[in-house]
Amino acid sequence: MKDRLEALVSEMVDRGILLEEAIEEFEKRFIKAAMEGSRGNQSRAARLLGIHRNTLSRKLGKFRLDHAASRQR
């Protein structure tokens, strides 16, 4: 996995992706995966992510991720 990450980072740098954009996109996808893995349960997802549930709730709003959609899957 480390090699894949290194290749991805190199590609992003080569394409001129800014650090802030990369971090935001990674965080959004990481949260989305945790929400899907917990079937939309914010408390469980927050534990998986190692953050407080209120922080997760705020980030769901920031990234406009619909936690109800995670329950459907």
User: Tens of pLDDT along 4-57?
Assistant: 999 999 999 999 999 999 999 999 999 999 999 999 999 999 999 999 999 999
Domain boundaries, the chain: 44-73
Complete DSSP assignment for 32-73: HHHHHHTTT-HHHHHHHHTS-HHHHHHHHHHTT--HHHHHH-
Q: Which two tokens stand for residue 60?
A: 């769901």
Does residue 67 carry a pLDDT above 90? no
What confidence score (pLDDT) does residue 71 get?
A: 63
